[in-house]
Amino acid sequence: MLTLVVCLVLAAVLHEPATLCQPAALRQPATAAAGAADGDTERLAGRLISKASALHNATRRPGRWEGAFTADEVNAWLATDLPRNHPRLLPPGWTAPRVRFTPRQMWAGVRCQAGPLSALLWARAEVRLRSPGELSVAVASAGVGALPLPGDALLARLAERLAASGFSASVVRLEGRNQLVVRLPEGGAAGDGDKPGIRLEALRVDDGELLVAGETVPPANVAR
């Protein structure tokens, strides 16, 4: 009986939800076209870097701005630039992170290696803009393979990481469930009034795409 239980648990942990399969353009090629596929991945990753850089520069100047990022671009960056230039962003044993965007939801998955065993840690979250500059995140489901994990623990851990990075983040009870509420900073640090205010005014998660828009206002117009 114990052997059966262990086998069932391992089967659940090692199972991978089909919804987290990587986009076709990013799957490991099995033919001589590997070089072309690798080139496509690098191109998509470079496009994400260019878009992110352009958006960052736009938010530093007064005026309206917007940006759109596809899941293919994000996954390409995660597959190439992240391990090459930012390897310490992931804990040891964590590899092959990937995301998927569906209407009003974000999926995220990462492979975790522990000795000879490898499993997919994943989560599905609902992200929305409650008000300009204030995000809410609710974990709809999470697990290791097919073994479910408590979403509240993930929210608490994420709140700790964001708070350590200087964000205002807390887990609160909203609409009958726990949600992570993140208040994005507007302008500079406390007491620093010489920086423009950055206001995120729109966020939409669509099928395969994430869109953001907002406005940067001069320091004198930042609400206190």
At 14-68, the pLDDT tens digits run 455 655 554 343 344 333 334 445 678 999 999 999 999 999 999 988 999 999 9
Letter string b/e over residues 158-190, b meaning 16 or more CB atoms within 10 A of that residue's CB: bbeebeeeeeebebeeeeeeebbbbebebbeee
Angle at 52 between CA 60 and CA 24, to 5 degrees: 165
- Domain count within the chain: 1
The answer to whether residue 47 sits within a structural domain is no
The answer to whether residue 185 sits within a structural domain is yes
Q: Where are the beta strands (DSSP E) in 115-223?
A: 117-131, 134-144, 147-148, 168-174, 177-183, 197-206, 209-217
Domain ranges, residue 207: 2-17+63-69+99-221
Q: Pairing between strand 63-70 and 209-217?
A: antiparallel
The answer to whether residue 48 sits within a structural domain is no
The answer to whether residue 43 sits within a structural domain is no
The answer to whether residue 170 sits within a structural domain is yes
Please report, rounded to a whole number, the percentage of residues in the chain having pLDDT higher than 90.
Answer: 33
The answer to whether residue 163 sits within a structural domain is yes
CA distance 43 to 120: 27
Please give the model's pTM, rounded to 2 decimal places.
0.78
At 191-206, the pLDDT tens digits run 345 667 788 999 999 9
At 104-118, the pLDDT tens digits run 999 988 888 877 777
The answer to whether residue 78 sits within a structural domain is no
The answer to whether residue 138 sits within a structural domain is yes
Residue 63 backbone class (left: φ over 0; alpha: ψ -120 to 50; beta: rest): left
